[in-house]
Amino acid sequence: MVPAIPALLGIPYNLLAVAGAMRFRRGAKISNYRPPVSILKPVRGRDPGFYEAIRSHASQRYPEFEILFGVADPEDPAMEDIQQLRREFPSVPIRVVGTANDAPNRKVGALEILSREARYDTLLVNDGDIRVHPDYLVRVLGLLGDPQVGLVTCLYRGRGGSVPSRAEALGIATEFAPSVLVARLLSSSGFALGSTMAFRRAELDAIGGFASIREFLADDYQLGARISALGKRIAMSDSVVETNLGAGNWAEVWRHQTRWSRTIRVSRPGGYFGYAVTQATFWCLVAALTGNWPVALGGMAARMCAAAASMHAVGAWDATEFAAVPARDLFGFAVWCAGIGGREVEWRGTRFRLMADGRIRPV
């Protein structure tokens, strides 16, 4: 019976994930709060789907906003798309800011510069490949009308152009998203995602600005945790954004997932090792191999229900990919095991050593 215990423990977690997904799909009432906002986008290179992503920001149905692109190299290929965006949307204030810096986390160093150049006191940060709906700003920034909310974040789904990257997207929808939904169901503090972080300049200044997190790889986690420590709530919008994962091969996906896994481990070690109970497919396989078939079948039924509910919640339902969830789960378990050890990660072609507190040093 002992080998079946982890599979049994996974059942309540997956039922909570179903409840979290159902709660998320109910949505939220849209506020009339419409503060002018500066969208800060550090870019490096032309990610897959880059123009479609930045165009989705320029075409927002929102009264007043500006977009600031941070570019370290004036010859960056992304400049061509930014100039095209300016031509297509001449009425939208779009600025390019030179953001060359020596911060360990160059993205945060760029955000430090962009925040100083921003015209407005409400700031929104997301990655260059994030694609959004036309009412994105309305649904996200409306939540900042509550003075107790210090930061607003969003769930996201992935879009892949190869089998490995589609497997990564499936993991985002069925492994990562359920963990976020369970966390949001149980608590509303300290959980920010880099897919969207909207906040006021006052809270940013109160934590020491971006300069205070320039040495950390998990800048989204650090920003959310520090604003939460001010006594502010981290809210989650019902707007789901999309990230383009490109057409990577298995080696690239493995490196990306391992970096992500090790970053979570050093940022939230308790939560990371707690993820062991979420590896339901592996534990159900162990239960089946030891003859505990009722536990294995019950655990897998709960796991597949959670996966289906989460895929629907983030708008990523696909029946064919749903059938691949058990195989993707076993790959995810291997990534989780790889994340338990090791201190080195690769990020945009540079190798870093992760310190015990989450800071990074170039190797």
Q: Over the chain, what is the mean pLDDT?
A: 91
Position 284 confidence tier, pLDDT thresholds 50, 70, 90: very high
Which pTM does this prediction carry? 0.92
pLDDT tens digit sequence for 95-151: 999 999 999 999 999 999 999 999 999 999 998 889 999 999 999 999 999 999 999
Helix (H, G, I), strand (E, B) or coil at 125: strand
Mean pLDDT score, 73-93:
95
Side-chain-side CA neighbours of residue 124 (13 Å): 26
Residue that is written with structure tokens 């039922």 in the block: 15
* Tally of CB atoms within 10 A around 249: 11
pLDDT tens digit sequence for 223-239: 999 999 999 999 999 99
Q: Beta-strand (E) ranges in 27-119?
A: 37-43, 65-71, 94-98
Q: Would you state the pLDDT for residue 1? A: 53
- Copy the structure tokens of residue 201: 């300049």
Q: Would you state the pLDDT for residue 134? A: 96
